[in-house]
């Protein structure tokens, strides 16, 4: 037995009722309250989306110094990675070779980031990503 076209049994005034209207192909009206429930649900979802995006946008602006895309941050004078326990990891490179054996020197041509020495591959990967983010986008 099909419910298509039948209005009896619809839970009016709720989103469930609105979905029942759609399924049964019965038009929802202002009098039954289902259209108001739809508007309230859409407003709730919109507010949740806006609240979720605001912290991400603030973090991006903090990282980029509140500038437009493509602008790089000023160079840091201290170690880049605060979570690396190795002393000197991420410091600006001095001399021709890395200061310790098995260290990695990262320098990306065209980057505003100076050459830096890193203690391991994972720290070096971080350095490459940082240097690429700070590329000079001059054509």
Give the model confidence (pLDDT) of 68-94 as tens digits.
555 455 555 445 555 788 888 888 888
Closest residue by Cα to residue 117 from 135, 95, 137, 139: 95
Positive or negative: CA dihedral 112, 83, 126, 58: negative
pLDDT at site 25: 93
pLDDT at site 78: 45
Q: Which has more confidence, 97 or 56?
A: 97
Prediction pTM value: 0.40
Closest residue by Cα to residue 118 from 77, 76, 86, 83: 86
pLDDT at site 102: 82
- Is residue 18 predicted with pLDDT exceeding 70? yes
3-state secondary structure 61-97: HHHCCCCCCCCCCCCCCCCCCCCCCCCCCCCECCCCC
């Amino acid at each position: 037995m099909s419910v298509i076209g039948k209005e009896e049994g619809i839970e009016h005034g709720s989103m469930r009722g609105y979905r029942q209207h759609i399924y049964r192909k019965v038009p929802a009206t202002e009098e039954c309250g289902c259209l108001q429930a739809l508007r309230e649900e859409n407003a709730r979802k919109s507010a949740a989306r806006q609240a979720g995006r605001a912290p991400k946008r603030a973090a991006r602006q903090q990282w980029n110094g509140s500038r437009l895309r493509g602008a790089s941050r000023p160079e840091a004078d201290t170690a880049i990675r605060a979570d690396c326990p190795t002393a000197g990891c991420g410091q600006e490179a001095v001399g021709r070779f890395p200061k310790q054996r098995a260290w990695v020197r990262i320098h990306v041509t065209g980057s505003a980031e100076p050459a830096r020495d890193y203690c391991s591959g994972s720290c070096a990967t971080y350095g490459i990503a940082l240097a690429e983010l700070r590329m000079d986008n001059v054509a």
